[in-house]
Structure 1
Amino acid sequence: MSHLLTDRRPVVAVLTVGDPVCLFRGNKANFKDIMKTGKDLDFPVYVVTTRDLKLSSKRIRGYQFDTDDKAWSKHWFPLPDVIYNRIPHREDERKRNVRQKINECIEHKSIYIYNPYFFNKRKLFEWLKRNRSTRALVPDTKRLLDPKKLSTMLQTYERLYLKPESGKAGKGIMLLQYDPEHEKPFRLTIQGQKYRHIVYRTAKLSALWKRIKKEMNNTPYIMQEGIQLTTYRDRNFDLRVLVQKTGKGAWMVTGVGARLAGLKRITTHVPQGGSIESPEKLLTPSFGGEMTTVILNRLKSNAVLIAKQIEKASGHMLGEMSMDLGIDIEGNMWFFEANSKPMKFDEPQIRKKSLERIFQYSQHLVNQPKNPVH
């Protein structure tokens, strides 16, 4: 049955939300790259907003980039076979009409949508704890609810990361350390804008909690054991892995990049002063060449296990995700974060492959009969 369909190129729509000022939201450079790759691979592709995506219509108003005019223009397109969700912000996704539209796509009898929603950090850790093979990769993580629980956790680990449940690009992350020798044993490092950070010290748990509450600003937070990661020239780094489904519908690692923290920064995010490096360069001084190869191979197989478990536990069809993994001084691997709307990888070989896989996976999808998850 499937070979009859293989020749037909599916119509792919990149989903975003409208914007009164600039037509639609999202990373337009990324959208242009997607359009170009679609064209090169002979796939019809366009950008559509949730408002214009009318699933009961035969035709849809969408956007294409005109390379001659160097501008986005609106045209009529056929209904998509596959919807690639790139709604850029959580606050857009939370809107009732947007969620309704995503649900309509999930329920639709023939249209596929993948990566329907952003991930929640706390849920990710809960999902990964459910599986024996991924449980060992997860640092101890709990909800940050009151000073008593915080104090108990701090006695266990002496270093904790405090992170917003729905954070992005390292915003709002704090590092809490406990040094019993110091007259003010609680040391809270708050990552400020750009290259500044604030260090707050106190001897009183109540004062510490008050300061943390102020930073949390009514946002749900998690607290996580601070893993002693291996460093490169005294700077932390983590490994950013892009995992996507292939033209056969199987999870595979598209590429591994590394992000080195800025000097004295508590996270490796590039907007926070981090830089892009090669994983081999950062791992080899600590582990040597041979062990580095072993670590990177293990990293890839673990990333695939993680992706499978997240997809299974989420109950939704996923086609790609990026994840941040760290390596501790013993060479053990730790999972910190996964993102269902991966930022584009700047490494050219990863970038090219990642764009092609969007279409290869879309082709795979239309060759399957759709059975809705619900």
Structure 2
Amino acid sequence: MDQLPTVQPHSPIMAVLTEIEYESGMEPSFGSIHDFCLELQELFTSSGWFFYVFSLKGVTKDGITGLYRDGSRWTKSKMPFPDIVYNRIHSRRSESSQIFIDFVEKMNEASIPVFNRRFLNKWEVHQWLNSRKNLQRFLPESCVYSRNSLQRMAASHEVLFLKPVNGSRGRDIMRIQSQDSTCDVSLSSRNGIESLNTCQKEDLPAILKRYLKKQLYLLQQGLPLLKMDNRSVDFRILCNRSSKYDWRVTSTVARLSAQGHFAANLAAGGDTIHPLRVLRHFFGEAQSTSKLDMIRELALEAANCTADSSEELFGELGIDVGVDDNGHPWIIEVNSKPSKNDHIGKSSCRPSAKAILEYAQILLSETNPPEKGGSR
């Protein structure tokens, strides 16, 4: 481990908490956000900040060990406490670990903001959004799964989805398709849609019991969303805070599911294309721009509602919006750890990286930083 890095007096300190992979003879890797961290490093250092990346393995009672950029390489060193922490841990299990809980508590005690501190729960988000009258008509009917809720929802909808409330990346989602007296049950897996069972409607609860894990599930109305080449389409709208209270859209992409998958998720092999290309295909040139504006406005409403309803600090949220055959938009999901692999464009520094810097500056101005950055 190298000696302590030199931090200029009065320089604020920004740190990203994520997973770090080390391989012998190789540069450390930050996984799916590696390039994004390089962009952040350039932005923050050019703006007078000291920037580093660390993992939970680098957190001890004595302090933090992390990586800072020294010329063209990442150098491991003991680090000063940061002024701001951006949480990009990708594991719910890690976020529920005692070391993470203790770290956040220590940051709270030192008045060091940790933003995007946790994953979101699908049911709590639905309740928040559903509490806003102006958003209710953009939400698919949803409830917590039970035998009674299944019976009620199956009587109203031919297609239902079962989603783990703490699920991510489109995994372990079940689809129930009803026709006359029978039901087809299938599962979204890494390899595509896996047919699980065909059964009589009255046997459905018993069949599902075989496959459901010991966790809470969201039961949701299936929607006739747009498809291109038999691939599901949705829109990922990345929203970032532009001030203490307001949000702005920093990027919008359309996502196509991999062949044979329910969800348009990039982790499952999906693709991104320009949103207007999709909208023009279905609604023509005249309506495509207004449809895109509506999708973005809806995403901003969802981001504001989520941030206002939660007690957590959120600097960015990814909103997934689907559009049905009639052009009506639907809020599918709100993500607190949005993917950084769906960037469209040739810019060396994406707008969302600049937005993280702006939000960190907002937080810094609110927390009355010490005379010397990081010396808490």
Compute the TM-score of the two structures, normalised by the length of structure 1.
0.85
Q: Give per-residue Cα distances to partners, 1:186-216, cap 9 Å, x unaligned.
A: 011212332352252112533x333322332
Residue pair 2:41, 2:69 contacting (<8 A) in 1 also: yes
- Note the 1:118-133 alignment, pairs <5 A: 118-133=119-134
Structure 2 CA distance for partners of 1:17 and 1:266, relative to 1, 3 Å = closer
Q: Given residue 98 of structure 1, which amino acid in structure 2 is its aligned partner? A: F
Conserved 8 A contact 1:158-1:179 = yes
Number of the residue aligned with 2:113: 112
Asked if residue 15 in structure 1 is aligned to residue 17 in structure 2, the reply is yes
Check conservation: 1:194, 1:271, Cα contact below 8 A: no
Three-state SS of the structure 2 residue aligned to 1:156 is: coil
1:150 matched to 2:150: yes
Residue 255 in 1 paired to residue 251 in 2?
yes
Question: Which of 343-352 and 93-102 deviates more?
Answer: 343-352
Matched-pair identity in %: 25
The correspondence for 1:328, drawn from 324, 331, 334, is 324
Question: For 2:113 and 2:288, how far apart are their aligned partners in 1?
Answer: 39
Q: Report if aligned partners of 1:164, 1:172 keep a CA contact under 8 Å in 2.
A: yes
Question: What is aligned with 1:33?
Answer: 39
Supply the distance in 2 between the matched residues of 1:60 and 1:251 (Cα, whole angstroms): 32
Q: Cα deviations across residues 278-326 of structure 1 (Å, max 9, x unaligned)?
A: 1111111211122111111111121111111101111112100111110
Moved more, 156-165 or 282-291: 282-291
Aligned partner of 2:269 among 268, 273, 280: 273
Match of 2:190 in 1: 193
Report what 1:300 is aligned to.
Answer: 296
* Alpha-carbon contact 1:26-1:86 (below 8 Å) kept: no
Give the match's secondary structure for 2:104. helix
1:63 counterpart letter in structure 2 = L
Aligned-residue offset at 1:235: 2.7
Residue 20 of structure 1 deviates from its aligned partner by: 8.9
- Could you list the runs of 5+ residues in structure 2 that have no partner in the other structure? 1-9, 369-376
Sort the Cα spacing of 1:231 and 1:247 in 2 relative to 1 into closer, same or farther, 3 A. same
Q: What is the root-mean-square deviation of aligned Cα atoms in Å?
A: 2.8
Q: Are the counterparts in 1 of residues 237 and 249 from structure 2 also a CA contact under 8 Å? A: yes
C-alpha distance in 2, partners of 1:247/1:310?
16
| Mapped partners of 1:54, 1:108: distance in 2 | 16
- The offset of 1:138, in angstroms, is 1.4
Any conservation in 2 of the 1:47–1:62 contact (CA below 8 Å)? Answer: yes
Contact 1:26–1:87 under 8 Å retained in 2: no
Q: Give the C-alpha shift of residue 25 in structure 1.
A: 6.8
Q: Which moved more, 1:298-307 or 1:345-354?
A: 345-354
Aligned to 1:338: 334
Most deviating of 308-317 and 208-217? 208-217
The 1:235/1:198 distance shift into structure 2, 3 A limit, reads: same
Q: Structure 1 regions of 5+ residues with no counterpart?
A: 1-7
Distance 2:257 2:66 in 1: 40
**2:309 aligned residue:** 313
Name the residue aligned to 1:61.
65
Other structure's SS at 1:136 match: helix
The match for 1:5 is none
Moved more, 229-238 or 158-167: 229-238
Contact map agreement 2:121 2:165 (CA 8 A) in 1? yes
Structure 2: how far apart are the matches of 1:38 and 1:194? 40
TM-score (norm 2): 0.85
Pairwise CA distance, 1:40: 3.9
Equivalent residue of 1:334, what SS? strand
| Secondary structure, aligned partner of 1:222 | strand
Q: Are the aligned partners of 1:172 and 1:216 in contact in 2 as well (CA < 8 Å)? A: no
Give the letter for the 2:50 counterpart: P
Q: Judge conservation of contact 1:251–1:304 (CA < 8 Å) in 2.
A: yes
* Structure 2 counterpart SS, 1:286: helix
| Aligned residue identity for 2:136 | R
Whole-Å Cα distance in 2 between the matches of residues 107 and 24 of structure 1? Answer: 31
- For residues 250 and 116 of structure 2, the distance between their equivalents in structure 1, rounded to whole angstroms, comes to 17
CA distance in 2, matches of 1:251, 1:349: 24
Does structure 2 retain, via aligned residues, the 8 Å contact 1:17–1:92? no
The answer to whether the 8 Å contact 2:235/2:321 transfers is yes
Determine helix, strand or coil for the equivalent of 2:333.
Answer: strand
Classify the secondary structure of the residue corresponding to 2:138: coil
